Amino acid sequence: MLSVALLGYAGFAALCLAMEKHFKELLKHSPRGVHLRSLRWAGWALLLASLVLAVHLRGWAHGLVEWIALLMAGVTLWVFMLPYRPRWLLGLAAVSVVLGPLLGLASLMR
Amino acid sequence: MKRTAAGLPLAYRLAVASRSLAALLGGYLLASLANVALALLTPISQVDAALLGMMLSFLVYLLAFIWCFACRSAWRAWAGVLAPSALLAVIAGLAYGMQTP
Amino acid sequence: MKEGFRQAMAWLHTWTGLIFGWMLFAIFLTGTLSYFKDEISHWSQPEIQRHALDPAHSLGLAQRYLNANAGSAASWFIQLPSDREPAISVGWREPGQGRRGFVSKSLDAASGEVVQARESRGGDFFYRFHFQLELPHPWGRWLSTWCAFIMLLGLVTGIITHKKIFKEFFTFRPGKGQRSWLDGHNAIGVLVLPFHLMISYSSLVLFMYMVMPAGIMASYGGETNRYFSDLFGRDVDVSSAGVVAPMAALPSLYAKVQEKVPGARMGYIQVQNPNDQNARVSFTRASSDSVAYRRSQSWTFDGVSGALVSSGAPESAMMMTSFSFAGLHMGNFAGPWLRWLYFVFGVAGTAVIGTGLVMWLGKRQLKHAKSDCQPGELRLVEVLNIASMSGLLLAVAAFFWANRLLPVTLEGRADWEVNAFLWVWAASLLHAAVRPGRRAWAEQLGLGAIAFGLLPLLNGLSTGQGLNHAIAVGDWAMAGVDLTALGTGLFMAWLARKMLRVPAPAKKRAARPAAPGKVTAEAEAN
């Protein structure tokens, strides 16, 4: 389920960065429209991927419940740590984007 | 309207109390009648209809509560819960009469 | 009341939240603890040994014990040990005594002997409190279900009131006084909204037959029992034949169930008319095996011949919906990490209520910041806030301390633990009433920090099963309670320190009057 958590976390991080206000604050430069649009697409795609993976791994009942729980936990961590440790969170998001899909693929192969 | 506790006119306090009662009792009446109507009239098995009626009745109660505090006057609050209650009572009463000869 | 829909909803949110907030806080906090009901029970009865699970063996032991001690009972109930519950629970009903004649015992899972554990309600106390509130039946259930409805109403009115729900989805700005409290309140409310909605609506579904009975009454007439047998698909009770007959070995019946559903864990096992010609044995699958309660997952055997008599009827879609809400609420299906998330979300729900109560008062106290005395009603809210939040935490700590300090052989020991909880809670109310607001907060939080922080030490000294031992033998239920207490202690110490410090800069910024016309409905809501 770690892969689901990481994908979901990365998804919300992307959706947050897709808002101009947060992008400026976190990355210290003004985004171009195409940046924001692609971040938004990437965010939703990551959330969808984590849903598909959760349902595939655990079935509808458990998968859906665990997916929602992990998303809520991930986004809560993001929002409440953001004012204190923004760099850590961005680092974790970067790691998640790489590690999430890899772990997801690994669990699909098994 | 000022909301300092001491400065509230009596009429305002009574109106709030009236709305609260409309929500609490009138809302419950409406929710219960919706529950009965759904339980008797939904064309699914008896136990399923009872479940559906109960599960939806809370949403009816919720909407009734919101109505009672969103509408413009306490009179409207009462009218808003009692009029549909009367309608549902007629429907549920007819259904009950037909099912229990 | 204010003009405009959003304003009216903000008003409703504010006042229903204030009136029921204190009780909701207690319900949420104890409900959150209930996700670790079995772990808390394990902590409060450290005498019960954990053994490797062997269901068939345990079932044999249960049958042996019941044969010897309740051979002529009207019915037996057996609950096998699980990952979370170390002991075998057995219970029986003496014939012709109705509900009063119920006896229950805990047996050691390996030896089958009665466990001599200290008398304590353990996690069951918090579990029962969160929906019965220590009130006589059925008032506690009515009141807590009503509170659940108010929570649902609060969520809906809160969403309506929250103008920038999407724009401020990721926003939390700490260190800005009232603004930060509102941010925090909104963010926890919105980000964990699916949980909040699920938990409050499912509470209504759990007790809907009690609080919304009109539909059942109209549809089933006087025979409400028929509703329950339709819903749960219960078998018709078989009456005793009055002829003694030897029973089949329960482990052999257990093996038959395992053949049908390999690996299934068992919930409770019921034996009707044991050692009688008409003995019936029913196995029900454990609720930890599926999200929703599954009535289809049950099997009834003839207790003498061992033949399968019937199995549970399949569920309809409507039943699955309501059983899913029940299952989601109780979270029995959750493994360790999902259980921890449940706990965290429960804490989040508690925090939403707590921040709401603090904001209601904070906003109104600002208006009286310059004068020395505050109006009586604000003082009342302040006292109730302190007692219902920090006081409740103190009471929970008192329960745990009483569990370790009361003599093990004390008569009515379990009740004394509950009394300690209630008395400390009452004392906190008294204390809050006589001390000035911030001091009262700081003192109660500080005392709570000490009480929770030292709990692991007390546990280690009084039982020898402290953290060093529990972690070494891998008893994570025991260690988990200790570590959570330690974490709670640290959190309360941090809060107490914040209360002791004079909040000069934050207060100044928050006290700056808002520009006229900039007061939004959101700000109204707190």
Residue with the larger pLDDT of the pair C46 and B8: C46
- Ranges of each domain in chain A: 2-109
Nearest-CA distance A75 → chain C (Å): 7
Q: Which residues of A touch C172 (CB under 8 A)?
A: 79-80, 82-83
Mean pLDDT for C509-521 is: 40
Considering only alpha carbons, which residue of chain B is nearest residue C8? B70
Considering only alpha carbons, which residue of chain B is nearest residue C158? B66
This prediction has a pTM of 0.93
Q: How far is CA A8 from CA B26, C66, C222, in A?
A: 44, 51, 51
Q: Which residue has the tokens 């009115």?
A: C157
Domain that holds residue B67: 20-99
Residue B2 has pLDDT above 70, yes or no: no
Q: Say if the Cβ atoms of C192 and A72 lie within 8 Å.
A: yes
C-beta pairs of B34-39 under 8 Å, 24+ apart in sequence: B34/B60, B34/B88, B35/B60, B35/C212, B35/C214, B35/C215, B36/B88, B36/B92, B36/B96, B36/C214, B36/C215, B36/C218, B36/C219, B37/B88, B37/B91, B37/B92, B37/B95, B38/C215, B39/C215, B39/C216, B39/C218, B39/C219
Nearest-CA distance C36 → chain B (Å): 28
Task: Please tell me the distance from the alpha carbon of residue C12 to that of residue C6, in angstroms, as a whole number.
Answer: 10
Task: Please tell me the distance from the alpha carbon of residue C27 to that of residue C150, in angstroms, as a whole number.
Answer: 12
Residue B11 lies in a domain: no
Task: Please tell me the distance from the alpha carbon of residue B80 to that of residue B74, in angstroms, as a whole number.
Answer: 10
pLDDT at C164: 87
Q: How confident is the model at residue C116 (pLDDT cuts 50, 70, 90)?
A: confident
Q: Which residues of C touch A61 (CB under 8 A)?
A: 290-292, 324
Residue B79 has pLDDT above 90, yes or no: yes
pLDDT digits (tens, 9 = 90+) for C360-418: 999 998 888 777 778 889 999 999 999 999 999 999 999 999 999 999 999 999 999 99
Q: Residue C475: helix, strand or coil by DSSP? A: coil
Query: C418 near C399, Cβ under 8 Å?
Result: yes
Residue C13 has pLDDT above 60, yes or no: yes
Q: Which residues of A touch C194 (CB under 8 A)?
A: 68, 72
Is this prediction's ipTM beyond 0.85? yes
Q: What's the distance, CA A51 to chain centroid?
A: 11
Range list of β-strands (E), C54-101: 75-79, 88-93
pLDDT digits (tens, 9 = 90+) for C478-496: 999 999 999 999 999 999 9
Q: Which residues of A touch C292 (CB under 8 A)?
A: 61
Do chains B and A touch, with touching meaning 3 or more CB–CB pairs less than 8 Å apart? no
Question: Nearest Cβ partner of B69 from C12, C149, C322?
Answer: C12
Q: How confident is the model at residue C441 (pLDDT cuts 50, 70, 90)?
A: very high
Q: Say if the Cβ atoms of B35 and C153 lie within 8 Å.
A: no
Residue B87 lies in a domain: yes
Percentage of residues in chain C with pLDDT exceeding 70? 93
Residue B67 lies in a domain: yes
pLDDT at C503: 59
Q: Which residues of C touch A13 (CB under 8 A)?
A: none
Q: Which residues of C touch A62 (CB under 8 A)?
A: 291, 333
Chosen for mutation from A12, A26, A72, A85 (greatest number of chain C CBs closer than 10 Å) is A72
Mean pLDDT for A78-103 is: 95
Residue B26 lies in a domain: yes
Residue C425 has pLDDT above 80, yes or no: yes
Residue B14 lies in a domain: no
pLDDT at B7: 67
Q: Say if the Cβ atoms of C338 and A83 lie within 8 Å.
A: no
Q: Count chain B–chain C contacts defined by CB atoms under 8 A.
A: 100
Map chain A to HEC letters.
CHHHHHHHHHHHHHHHHCCHHHHHHHHCCCCCHHHHHHHHHHHHHHHHHHHHHHHHHHHHHHHHHHHHHHHHHHHHHHHHHCCCCHHHHHHHHHHHHHHHHHHHHHHHHC
Query: C59 near C67, Cβ under 8 Å?
Result: no
What phi, psi does C219 have (nearest 5°)? Answer: -80, -35
Q: Which residue has the tokens 């598909």?
A: A52
pLDDT at C467: 94
B14-36 burial string, b = 16+ CB within 10 Å, else e?
Answer: ebbebbbebbeebbbbbbbbbbb
Task: Please tell me the distance from the alpha carbon of residue C294 to that of residue C316, in angstroms, as a whole number.
Answer: 11
Mean pLDDT for C107-125 is: 92
Question: Nearest Cβ partner of C208 from B5, B55, B92?
Answer: B55
Residue B9 lies in a domain: no
Residue C251 has pLDDT above 90, yes or no: yes
Q: Count chain A–chain C contacts defined by CB atoms under 8 A.
A: 54
Listed range (C104-108, C290-294, C511-515) with the worst mean pLDDT: C511-515
Q: How confident is the model at residue B101 (pLDDT cuts 50, 70, 90)?
A: low
Mean pLDDT for C100-120 is: 89
Query: C204 near C148, Cβ under 8 Å?
Result: yes
Do chains C and B touch, with touching meaning 3 or more CB–CB pairs less than 8 Å apart? yes
pLDDT digits (tens, 9 = 90+) for A15-72: 999 999 999 999 988 888 899 999 999 999 999 999 999 999 999 999 999 999 999 9
Chosen for mutation from C142, C219, C220, C367 (greatest number of chain B CBs closer than 10 Å) is C219
Considering only alpha carbons, which residue of chain C is nearest residue B14? C1
Average pLDDT, chain B: 91
Q: Say if the Cβ atoms of B57 and C157 lie within 8 Å.
A: no
Q: Which residues of C touch B36 (CB under 8 A)?
A: 214-215, 218-219
Q: Say if the Cβ atoms of C170 and A78 lie within 8 Å.
A: yes
Residue B7 lies in a domain: no
Residue with the larger pLDDT of the pair C520 and C222: C222
Looking at the structure of chain B, the number of domains it has is: 1
Q: How confident is the model at residue C505 (pLDDT cuts 50, 70, 90)?
A: very low
C315-335 burial string, b = 16+ CB within 10 Å, else e?
Answer: beebbbbbbbbbbbbbbbbbe
